[in-house]
Amino acid sequence: MNDASPLPAKHLPPGVRTRFVDGVNGLCMHLLEAGFDPPGRRRLMLLHGFPELAFSWRHVMPGLAEAGYHVLAPDLRGYGRTTGWDAAYDTDIAPFRMQNLVRDVLGLLWRSGHDHVDAVIGHDFGSPLAAWCALLRPDVFRAAVLMSAPFVGPPMPREIAPPQADIHAALAALPRPRKHYQWYYSGPEANAEMWHPTQGLENFLRAYFHMKSADWRLPDGLPANRPHRLAGWTAGALAEMPTYYIMDAACGMAETVAPHLPTPDEQAACRWLPPADLDVYAAEYGRTGFQGGLNWYRCQTSGRFAPETSLFHGRPIKVPALFIAGEADWGVFQFPGALEAMRERVFARMQAVHIVPGAGHWVQQEQPQAVVQLVLGFLSGR
């Protein structure tokens, strides 16, 4: 399953190297890093999401390093060339819960000989992980940049949480029956369906990345991703989102994205994900499957760990923070009210929310120069 060899240098930009750090909370962690010479530079920790890798930061790492930062980007638990995790569906998912993922990041930092980073930066599922890092250890993670996924804070304790409608029954009862992708990801069939899809793994990943980007177009040439605020957590409102979020009830994710594989011309025009880069994703997931990353979703949707995380409900995150997302990214609005909660309640020092033109969900890959400028501006001004 896992590969103890480093990612070949031919896949990486100049100045980015690959190495392993062993003894990290039971893991041998694979990471990419840039700006490691000379020693003693300010540090940034970059945390990827799903289905991503440390490799997903390749476009921004050189620019951050050129600005004087030592940049570390690990393959997180369940991903890539990091070893020491269980890929089975029936494994204990407790090691994939947020508190233990924070322990992974802390362990990597300490085993690398450092006691803090100037900022922790997370994208997609790495965004709430970055927020939890800043919430639990603000002395170590001294600023936070969240991308694409707003953080709504720790959940309410059961004693005070309002009752929730059965959104899954409501989605299934729509005239066009639907289901929520996060609960699909939490089921036993998701890994096999995505790992061994009918169209082939490379075509699945190409279509998935394409659909969630700013490149996806309707037949008339207009952007297919035109996100907007949703009225509420109701089946009708959620069904306004594309099928990669609110799926047709009878379809898996591979089947969902298959009709939207970009044409050869569209693929050739995709400079942020050329064939050689897509090959890296296909090779890594072809070897490991997706279950490691899917176990993160299971921790969230099961509610199993909500009682312990609810201990922190109402505690604001006090480090300086920034939020960045693409203009064509539905992730900003997929949980109604999340963006507002993050800005107004969760972060005491949220500096700004930046929506980047020309980017969808993969903002740090689609518009890396804009992201680097926004991050450096934030870090220089705090």
For the chain, the domains span 16-159+306-381, 167-292
Region 346-353 average pLDDT? 97
Confidence check: pLDDT of 279 > 90: yes
Rounded distance, CA 115 to CA 132, Å?
17
- C-alpha R_g of the chain: 20
How far is residue 63 CA from its own chain's centroid?
A: 21
Average pLDDT, the chain: 96
Number of separate helices (H) and strands (E) present in the chain: 16, 10
- The 3-state DSSP class for residue 343 equals helix
Share of the chain above pLDDT 70, in %: 99
Region 252-260 average pLDDT? 98
Note the pLDDT of residue 161: 65
> pLDDT-based confidence at 299, cuts 50/70/90?
very high
Note the pLDDT of residue 138: 98
Rounded distance, CA 300 to CA 308, Å?
12
Region 58-86 average pLDDT? 98
CB 290 within 8 A of CB 191: yes
> What single letter denotes the amino acid at residue 77?
R
Cα dist from 208 to 66, 211, 333, whole Å = 32, 5, 19
Neighbours of 231 (CB within 10 A): 11
Rounded distance, CA 120 to CA 46, Å?
6
Residue count (the chain): 382
Tokens of 108: 């990597």
Note the pLDDT of residue 39: 86
Note the pLDDT of residue 165: 78
Only one residue has tokens 């989102």, namely 241
CB 332 within 8 A of CB 227: yes
Among 39, 274, 42, 306, residue whose Cα is nearest residue 158: 306
Region 135-161 average pLDDT? 92
Confidence check: pLDDT of 4 > 80: no
Note the pLDDT of residue 2: 57
Q: Give the range among 167-171, 217-221, 238-242 with minimum mean pLDDT.
A: 217-221
Region 171-193 average pLDDT? 98
Confidence check: pLDDT of 77 > 70: yes
CB 93 within 8 A of CB 303: no
Greatest Cα pair distance, the chain, in angstroms, is 61
> What single letter denotes the amino acid at residue 119?
A
Region 227-239 average pLDDT? 97
Among 358, 380, 361, 379, residue whose Cα is nearest residue 369: 358
Region 195-208 average pLDDT? 98
Note the pLDDT of residue 156: 86
Note the pLDDT of residue 96: 98
Note the pLDDT of residue 382: 65
Share of the chain above pLDDT 90, in %: 93
Only one residue has tokens 């939207």, namely 260
Note the pLDDT of residue 173: 98
Rounded distance, CA 292 to CA 366, Å?
25
CATH superfamily of 16-159+306-381: Alpha/Beta hydrolase fold, catalytic domain (3.40.50.1820)
